[in-house]
Amino acid sequence: MRMIRVASRKSLLAMTQTRQVIQQLQSFFPDTEFQIIPVVTQGDRILDVSLSKIGGKGLFVSEVEQQLLQEQADMAVHSLKDVPAELADGLVIAAYPNRVDARDALITKKANAIHNLPQGSVIGTSSLRRMAQLKHLRNDLQIKLLRGNIDTRLNKLESGEYDAILLAAAGLIRMGWEDRITERIDPMHILPAIGQGILAVECRDQDSSLKEMLQSLHCRQTEQVALAERALLHSLNGGCQVPIAGYAEWQNGTLVLTGLVASEDGEVIYQVKESLSSRMSSVDLGQMVAKKLLEKGADQILQKYS
Ligand SMILES: NCc1[nH]cc(CCC(=O)O)c1CC(=O)O
């Protein structure tokens, strides 16, 4: 029987997600052994500066990919949100498990919803996407930079530096910290990040036996969602340091994709929503939404980041 080595970042969320995926695989393949190989990534080492200032795509992913390419490990579980548009050569996403929850979550003790936060409340986030949409929604709010793993961010909220923070609901749910969520924000108000709440299981393209095993985790609907959202990201040439959002969902059997590009101050927001028609692939849908965003004027905003 084969031993499968799973590379994982050391953060609590990454380890938890990796363990949960292994547990699922273990239930399908009870005789297979799994071993976690912890990896420290550049994104984990640099915690003092805003990620948007460091630049570079795939800060959390590239060292893990190196482990796979050098055959030090066989597979890895990523948050799709952190995976750059292009994978390293020779690697594939072999499975997209079912998406849990794409929404951003508000965590606060000061109100029951974002619309009810007191005037001038201090909100912690370091995502340009969240910042821009927050300012658009409530221009009285003060945004204060917040970095770190989700456990670190929750501790900083506890320490009183912030009135509220925003985190991906999915991470909190996977950690078993769902009870910390004050409000799951409707994607109409804050459109989630591309890939948020989706896990991507990566391995070497050559490793056919592992690829076959990973099919047991795969969700086809989630794959189509991921393909549409990531085609949008790719066509806009964006990374996580650009105020771009994208969210696809199945509505009565049809894939619907909303894309958004915002100015950092939240003054300008371009949004496009389109459905998948017959003769069109999910990737086509992503490209079409990107094209319409650019035609509306999003290219003016995006120029600054290229
Ligand atoms: N950028 C960090 C990151 N990458 C994935 C998640 C959450 C889990 C997910 O989106 O699947 C988070 C934390 C957050 O944004 O709250």
How far away, in angstroms, is 27 Cα from ligand 1 center? 26
Q: What is the pLDDT of residues 154-172, one digit of tens each?
A: 999 999 999 999 999 999 9
Q: What is the pLDDT of residues 249-301, one digit of tens each?
A: 999 999 999 999 999 999 999 999 999 998 999 999 999 999 999 999 999 99
Interacting residues of 123 by C-beta distance below 8 A, sequence separation 6+: 117, 134, 141, 142, 143, 144, 162, 163, 164, 165, 166
Structure pTM?
Answer: 0.93
Q: What is the pLDDT of residues 7-57, one digit of tens each?
A: 999 999 999 999 999 999 999 999 999 999 999 877 676 655 555 455 555
Alpha-carbon span 168 to 22, nearest angstrom: 22
Is there a catalytic annotation at residue 82?
A: yes
Q: What is the pLDDT of residue 58?
A: 67
Domains of the chain by range and CATH? 3-98+198-218 (3.40.190.10), 104-184 (3.40.190.10), 230-303 (3.30.160.40)
Q: What is the pLDDT of residue 46?
A: 65
How far away, in angstroms, is 195 Cα from ligand 1 center? 9
Residue 61 scores a pLDDT above 70: yes
In the block, tokens 């804050």 appear at 190
The residue contributing the CA closest to ligand 1 atom 2 is 82
- Substitution candidate for ligand 1 out of 8, 9, 13, 21 with most atoms within 8 A of CB: 13
> Minimum mean pLDDT among 42-56, 78-92, 178-192: which range?
42-56
> Minimum mean pLDDT among 44-53, 82-91, 92-101, 217-226: which range?
44-53
How far away, in angstroms, is 61 Cα from ligand 1 center? 13
The ligand 1 atom nearest the CA atom of 240:
1
Tell which wins on pLDDT, 51 or 3.
Answer: 3
Residue 60 scores a pLDDT above 80: no
Q: What is the pLDDT of residue 242?
A: 85
Give Cα 266 distance to the centre of its chain: 21
Read off the pLDDT of each residue in 230-247 and give the average, rounded to a whole number.
88
The residue contributing the CA closest to ligand 1 atom 1 is 82
CA angle 280–286–292, rounded 5-degree value: 100
Q: What is the pLDDT of residue 62?
A: 86
Q: What is the pLDDT of residue 305?
A: 84
Q: What is the pLDDT of residue 111?
A: 98
Pairing of strands 164-168, 104-108: antiparallel
Q: What are phi and psi of 248, to 5 degrees?
A: -110, 145
Hey, which residues does 108 pair with through a beta bridge?
164
Q: What is the pLDDT confidence band of residue 240, given thresholds at 50, 70 and 90?
A: low
200 lines ligand 1 (CB under 6 A): no
Q: What is the pLDDT of residue 140?
A: 97
- Show the 3-state SS of 77-119: EEEHHHCCCCCCCCEEEEECCCCCCCCEEEEECCCCCHHHCCC
Residue 141 scores a pLDDT above 90: yes
User: Which of these is catalytic: 44, 48, 82, 299?
Assistant: 82
The residue contributing the CA closest to ligand 1 atom 15 is 168
- Substitution candidate for ligand 1 out of 150, 156, 165, 178 with most atoms within 8 A of CB: 150
Q: What is the pLDDT of residue 253?
A: 94
How far away, in angstroms, is 279 Cα from ligand 1 center? 33
